[in-house]
Amino acid sequence: MHFVFLLSVSMVFGAEKPNVLFIAIDDLNDWVGPLEGHPQVKTPNMDRLAAMGVTFTNAHCQSVLCNPSRTSLLTGVRPTTTGIYGLSPYYRKVPKLAGLKTIPELFRDQGYLTLGTGKIFHGSYALKAGGRDWDKVGPGATGAPFPKKKLVDTPAKHKLVDWGTFPHKDEDKGDYKIASWAVKRLEEMPEDKPFFLAAGIFLPHVPCYVTQKWMDMYPLETLKLPEVLENDRADTPRSSWWLHWKLPEPRLKFLKESNEWKNLVRSYLASITFADAQVGRILDALEESGHADNTIIVLWSDHGWHLGEKEITGKNTLWEPSTRVPLIFAGPGISKNATCAEAVELLDVFPTLCDLASLPKPDGLEGHTLIPQLRDVKTEREFPAISNHNPGNNSVRDERWRYILYMDGSEELYDMEKDPEEFENLAGRPEYEGEIQRLKKWIPEHQEPHAPNSSARILVYKDGRPIWEGKEIKPGDPIPEVEE
């Protein structure tokens, strides 16, 4: 059966190997036109890409933090299997993981010219020529240029937690240079071998700095804010707070009191539109290169971002704003202008690209190919999407439900059809116990502890009591508004 399937894929593409254009966008939630996450967002180039292929409207990340999410997608293995949960370590620094093959490494081994620029792995990890992944590399990711001082005086003084506009030029921005490098490579791409070109866009990751041109697209007087519920956390377990405690992103309370909520939402939307413009420049170059008809395009984000929902900003939660991400495939043999509502995972990207390019799959991949959905978007899947944030905290999302189980055994359940904002936690109601048990079975039984030298602050439970970095948290202890 496996041989017949690979043969059928090869027949779709013919003898010529397809190229791959691999576009990652950092911290991008569902505020893009194809996902309709915000009614005012302007993403004409992602809209254009969606018309070229299949948009997965119910796609979710494996981790709600950059390094573990990208490690999972690029190696095809879950964080609960690798133990990579924090912003470090780089997985190849962990001896038992060093042999895991990445997507670009596999394509390189199979005769592809591999080129990478911007944020693909977290930070500068592996972005170097002559290593295992890339034949050629371009500029790395950066939020530069920066103003002389922060524009917003946030409770945490972290340099990157900032937003707004100041005098600078689009051409000086890191993402513009990343797109320019990708454009140049497409212009001079050799004809004698297939290519795998990866471009990682930094915005809308904080700092959300854009020039005035992009801010003007979102006038303050007509700007729509996310729908939030006062005291929305009243029916959520205390464990839900610990997931993002001590993080530098401000709470909704600060945004309201400082009159910064609209400014942040506006800056985030403007950053998305600027990032979308860079995607457009790369798509234009692909069209002009003559390679478009034989190139698979995949666009994805590593995780989402809250902008006031559940009373917070940032990621690091197991709710929809953190886990739902754009995922679009386009290219030869892929349906056009289609959407698929089945729950899928970023983990599915690796096996799908292998099948689209008729390449052998490494052993141990934990995702599932999306080929059936790329051919017919109504094809059902039996697998839900599983997201994680540190051992013991997991979410299961299918077409209708989201179930969350925290490390202390506390739970949440949301009916995403009737309650897409996740306002009402249904866990604990006897009539929903069957749904909980059905979804709970998908959570990995074994979850690796943190890999050595993990940067994550570790919350553990001992005899039912939470311990934060060795100090017991007593009942009633306040959760600080913000701490670094």
Question: In CATH, what number is assigned to the domain containing residue 267?
Answer: 3.40.720.10
Average pLDDT, the chain: 92
Residue 149's pLDDT is: 96
Q: Establish if 3 belongs to a structural domain.
A: no
Task: Give residue 429's domain range.
Answer: 18-472
Please report whether residue 320 resides in a domain: yes
Structure confidence at residue 478 (pLDDT): 59
Residue 360, SS3?
Answer: coil
- How many whole angstroms separate alpha carbon 474 and alpha carbon 238? 12
| Exposed e or buried b per residue across 215-244, where buried means at least 16 C-beta atoms within 10 angstroms of its C-beta | beebeeeeeeebebeeebeeebbebbebbb
Q: Packing angle between helix 2-13 and helix 349-356, nearest 10 degrees?
A: 70
Task: Give the 3-state secondary structure of residue 199.
Answer: strand
Please state the φ and ψ torsions of residue 228, each to the nearest 5 degrees.
-130, 160
Alpha carbon distance 386, 259 (integer Å): 36
In a domain, 11, yes or no: no
* pTM recorded for the entire structure: 0.94
Give me Rg for the CA atoms of the chain.
22
Among 163, 162, 166, 161, smallest CA distance to 147 is for 166
The pLDDT of residue 11 is 37
Q: How far apart are CA 135 and CA 114, in angstroms?
A: 5
The encoded tokens of residue 39 equal: 């009614």
CB 124 within 8 A of CB 164: no
- Listed residue (14, 109, 56, 21) closest to 328, CA to CA: 56
* Residue 6 falls inside a structural domain: no
Q: Mind listing the pLDDT tens digit for each residue in 168-214? A: 999 999 999 999 999 999 999 998 999 999 999 999 999 999 999 99
Asked whether residue 484 is assigned to any structural domain, the reply reads no
Could you tell me if residue 7 is inside a domain?
Answer: no
pLDDT, position 31:
98
Pick from 336, 341, 374: which is nearest to 356 by CA? 374
Whether the Cβ atoms of residue 260 and residue 289 lie closer than 8 Å to each other: no
Strands 465-468 and 459-462, bridge-based pairing: antiparallel
In 78-227, alpha helices (H)? 79-82, 103-109, 174-187, 212-215
Q: Which residues of the chain have pLDDT under 50?
A: 1-15, 480-484
pLDDT value at position 479? Answer: 54
The pLDDT value recorded for residue 65 is 96
In a domain, 478, yes or no: no
- Looking at the domain assignment, is residue 483 inside a domain? no
Number of domains in the chain: 1
Predicted local distance difference test score (pLDDT) of residue 408: 85
Which residues does the annotation mark as catalytic? Answer: 66, 122
